[in-house]
Chains A and B, each alone.
Chain A
Amino acid sequence: MTFQRLIRTLDMFWERQGCAIIQPYDIEMGAGTFHPATFFGALGPSTQRVAYVQPSRRPTDGRYAQNPLRMQRYYQYQVIMKPATDNMQQLYLDSLRAVGIKVEDHDVRFVQDDWESPTLGAWGLGWEVWIDSLEVTQFTYFQQVGGIDLPVIPCEITYGLERVAMFANGLHDLYQLPWDAHRSYGDLHIGPEKQGSAYNFEHADIDLYRTLFEQHERESMALLGRQLPLPAYEQLLKCSHAFNMLDARGAISQSDRPRLVLRIRKLAKECAESYLALQQSEAAEAEPAKAA
């Protein structure tokens, strides 16, 4: 199962479940949860079924391509089913079978995970899914996003694609995974991973990222004042990435951390509120039109 076929197979699987297969968001983010399709899609009463690959940046997880399990940039496969159906676990296990993992051969475990994203003001309950003691997926029933209780509960499934691919191929080193018939995952990623680690840990300009944090925060606040929640949220994503870069450079002290997180969280909350307000006013405008 090549990496590219794995993605196609998951796309087909979740397409059959009624998911729109959408594309990665074009701004750096720490996880697929940050994609607007999840953040905004989870809010409010409307249904949402969507699946996508999201390259995810975790600057502190860089290992200069020396670790077979960790990277500073990797691929998540994210599914949102809203409302959650009553067979989510079953669907998930079937998706693993679809990509060629004989789950019956393995030890599969749903291990408690009280998931929380402090920066997004989001939390939910669910599990880390373990195969043979390795976490391959996060499985969460969202309860709150942007500090707002969700009227309809979405289920989020976040696959660590490389780890799933390792089981689909019986390999233990993600760099050896076949990307296609001719190239390995390593061929395409070892160089970027080494350079990325060096940049994140050694060379990223701390002053630059401090400035970026401030400027994107200011821009986000200005956009919120103009009822533009999506562009405001994009600025939040940039803030969040600046925070992660500063963290990798060891430039965030223990006492700075909660304050900076709180600043991003405040933006997230306002983006969520602004989005819901906008939806309501759009619905109100559409109402008389329908009646007519």
Chain B
Amino acid sequence: MSARRRPSSAAKKRASSAADWLVEIGTEEMPAAYLTGTLEQLRQEAERICADAHLEHGAVETAGTPRRLMLRVADMAPVQRNPAEEIRGPSKQASFDATGQPTEALKGFLRGRGGALSQTKTVSTDKGDYVYLVKPERLSPTKQVLPELVVQLINRLRFPKTMRWDASGLRFARPIRWLVVFYGTQSLRVSLGTIRSGTHTRVGRPQRLRTMSIVGASMYEPTLVKQGIILDLSKRRARIQALITKLAREQGGVVAPEMVDHGLLDEVTALVEQPIAIGGTFDQRYLQLPREVLLASMAKHQRVFAVQDGAGRLLARFVAILDGKPGKPALVRNVIEHILNARLADSMLFLEQDLKQPFAEGKNLAGVTFHEKLGSMADKTQRQQQLAAPLADAWRLTDAERSRLNRAVLLAKHDLVTTMVREFPTLQGIVGKHYALRSGEPREVAEALAEQYLPAAGKRPSTLIGNALALLDKYDTMTSYFGIGIEPTGDQDPFGLRRAAQGIVEIIGGVRRALPLSPLFAARKASAPFAAMPAEQSARTEARIRMYLFERLYTFDWPVPAPSRDLIDAVLASRPDDLFDAIERIQALHALGDGPALLRAAKVVERTHNILKSAKSPAIEPDQAKLQEAPERKLWELYTAHREPLADLIGRRSYQDATARYGEVFFAPLNDFFDQVMVNVPDEALRQNRLALMRAINTLYTVPVADLSKLTILQQSASSA
């Protein structure tokens, strides 16, 4: 790695006789999803191997197609310099016998390290005298070193799944069929499993590969380019994008954006090495199918690109990318069209069958299991119906909005028993939306159905009812699983509960509406599995759920710059009930930055907190009659004067103003108090009263807003205050 940045004198010296190292690993078709990662691994491992082997080199490059992985290390020095080294052997005592002859222990050590007795010396260390083997710098020709490194390199590549394919037991993502290794113009002999490297690569279309000779490292890429192979991934991607854009335009449209966004372009880039594009059409009447169904049929089942018009409406057209030019392009187009039409005809049958009755009717959700201990989708729907009311209250929904939400909850899982979702499981929710619209359900209800599984892939629900439904779905799922003792642990989260909890927090952060957890759980615990649970266990689970939800604030997608962890700690320490209130408090305090307002308030909290921390005192109201000194009478006065206005500010969630005011009011008088008044006096009654005053001032802020004693700015400013 560092070799690249060596001083230029070394580079010049190297350049005179340096040569490129080229490796081509020829495989049967590698999985498309592996290609990018494998090329990156290959590059990193090559850098590492060169560094470990003390081989000086220039740029390291990798490229690949479904059938080949290429590594090229530029300007590799012709000689490997293994630096001199001293290796510690056995102790002197163990190395030589009474007559001064070397023992078996020493001889064994030298044999193992390839050294001679004449190369040893004795060194005194703090642990005693030891025999050291002194090996001088060794030079080896690079071309002799490389073959072994090729084997190491290939063995180091890791894949999600590997296979064996012959008696050698060699493992790789797919069978390796050939190997080309050059150092400059010299072909190197490498044995890997049953494979012997050679000078021939394989080119052509997958149905008829032929061998082609490579004359040296520098001729590798030009030879392949001449065969129409685009080796580099990003170049190939750009080429395919240009091809599909051009053909879509010729067909009067543009490529549907989902094709690029959802990875089809990347996938196709990894599926071909000589991209050729052809356009085609399908039967107009299939445009009645939901867009997502058309896209899934084209992208997932046939890997062809959908085309839409300027207004974003799909056209009955597609663009396919082929690997190399077929003998009969028109025939290929014709076949793809027929296959696509047949698939879409199948989907049309599903559509007709599913719409034989209105979407709201005849759906047997009791037959679809949610979880064996948690009942069916009918049960889940019922639970979500019960939760809709407290959520609607918290969000202050209008009567019209409430009825839309209730309708959406009722219909949410209906599409799970349609033939279309059975065929395209990933389109759950989306199919529901289309069917709801076709059955005359209100648009808000239909949109909500499509949005119920969001947030996903960075997309949040956009409608109010969609947000509400998505939240209910996740809240029910999360509480249900927690209720039967299933919680995410470490990276184990088979039921997606972490994602559900995170989704709830993202939804609340997005819609900026209240989510008081107590009333919601009060509604939740009326049904299974909580209904049959002892009250104590139910309360314990509620606490777990609450904690788990609030902890998601640490990984919430905050606007940048994100609030620091200690700020979130401070707000959570005040045990908010409403998730959105917590978000507002964090954002308000965060907006104060590390300015004086926040710091002053934090100081007040910290000083009162510290004095209370070490004291045992019952929570009592301060007794005005026992306030003797002027500074404590002053504090009491301020406390009584500002208690109400502060509570009022907090009640209106003016957390910035409340914080500023709290600091402003108490900071200086509290300093005076600590300067002039002793809290821990021998008179127990007096001491208790002063502690009570401290508690009153502390909790005035920390209970309803945040325990600012958790803030790290206090440590940074310890000296300046």
Contact = CB atoms under 8 A, between A and B. Distances in A.
B327 interface: yes
A253 B368 contact: yes
A215 interface: no
B325 to A, nearest CB: 9
A106 B29 contact: no
A174 to B, nearest CB: 10
Q: How large is the interface on B (under 10, 10 to 19, 20 to 34, 35 or more residues)?
A: 35 or more
Given A70-B346, A93-B207, A153-B166, A105 B328 contact: yes
A114 B33 CA distance: 12
Contacts of B346: 63, 67, 69-70
Contacts, number: 123
A69 B346 CA distance: 10
Interface string B288-321: 0000000000000011100000000000000010
Interface stretch (B337-345, B465-473, B500-508): B337-345
A135 B174 CA distance: 19
Contacts of A68: 342
Given A68-B342, A106-B326, A124-B163, A86 B207 contact: no
Contact of A110 (B28, B332, B367): B28
Contacts of A133: 302-304, 320, 335-336, 339-340
Contact of A112 (B33, B164, B194, B368): B33
A277 interface: no
Contact of A83 (B166, B173, B304, B343): B166
A17 B515 CA distance: 70
Nearest to B280: A133
A107 interface: yes
B199 to A, nearest CB: 19
A152 B322 CA distance: 35
A253 B271 contact: no
B167 A83 contact: yes
A111 B328 CA distance: 21
A131 interface: yes
Interface in B198-213: 205-208
A172 interface: yes
B84 interface: no
Nearest to B339: A134
A104 B166 CA distance: 29
Contacts of A256: 369
B566 interface: no
Interface in A86-138: 86, 89, 93, 102-112, 114, 124-125, 127, 131-134
A153 B165 CA distance: 6
B484 interface: no
A127 B340 CA distance: 21
A153 B163 CA distance: 9
B593 to A, nearest CB: 51
B377 to A, nearest CB: 10
Contacts of B332: 105-107, 132
Interface in B319-364: 320, 322-324, 326-328, 331-332, 335-336, 338-340, 342-343, 345-346, 349
B335 A253 contact: no
Contact of A250 (B30, B165, B173, B367): B367
Interface string B179-209: 0000000000000001000000000011110
Contacts of A109: 29, 206, 271-272, 323
Contacts of B340: 133
B416 to A, nearest CB: 10
Contacts of A111: 29, 32, 271, 303
A69 B33 CA distance: 28
A67 B342 contact: yes
A179 to B, nearest CB: 21
A184 interface: no
Contacts of A112: 29-33
The CB with the most chain B CB atoms within 10 A, among A83, A84, A153, is that of A153
Given A63-B346, A132-B332, A172-B338, A107 B174 contact: no
B175 interface: yes
Contacts of B345: 67
B381 to A, nearest CB: 16
Contacts of B28: 89, 110
Contact of B342 (A69, A106, A107, A131): A69
Given A133-B303, A172-B342, A253-B367, A108 B163 contact: no
Contacts of B177: 86
B328 A114 contact: no
A209 B640 CA distance: 79
Interface string B152-166: 000000000101111
B536 interface: no
Contacts of A114: 31, 161
A255 interface: yes
B371 interface: yes
A230 B221 CA distance: 55
B531 to A, nearest CB: 21
A253 B369 contact: yes
A112 B66 CA distance: 10
Contacts of B320: 107, 133
Nearest to A174: B342
B271 A106 contact: no
A250 B366 CA distance: 13
Interface in A70-92: 70, 83-84, 86, 89
A68 B338 CA distance: 10
Contacts of A104: 205, 207-208, 326-327
A32 to B, nearest CB: 21
Given A84-B165, A132-B332, A108 B369 contact: no
A105 B327 contact: yes
A205 to B, nearest CB: 18
A152 to B, nearest CB: 7
B206 A108 contact: yes
B33 A84 contact: no
6 contacts: A104-B208, A106-B207, A106-B332, A108-B207, A110-B66, A143-B163
Given A69-B342, A105-B328, 12 more contacts: A93-B207, A105-B327, A107-B324, A111-B32, A112-B29, A112-B33, A125-B173, A125-B174, A134-B335, A172-B335, A254-B369, A256-B369
9 interchain residue pairs of minimum CB distance: A112-B31, A132-B335, A172-B338, A105-B327, A110-B29, A133-B302, A105-B328, A103-B207, A253-B369
Interface of A: 63, 66-70, 83-84, 86, 89, 93, 102-112, 114, 124-125, 127, 131-134, 141, 143, 152-153, 167, 170, 172, 250, 253-256
Interface of B: 28-33, 66, 161, 163-167, 173-175, 177, 194, 205-208, 271-272, 302-304, 320, 322-324, 326-328, 331-332, 335-336, 338-340, 342-343, 345-346, 349, 367-369, 371-372
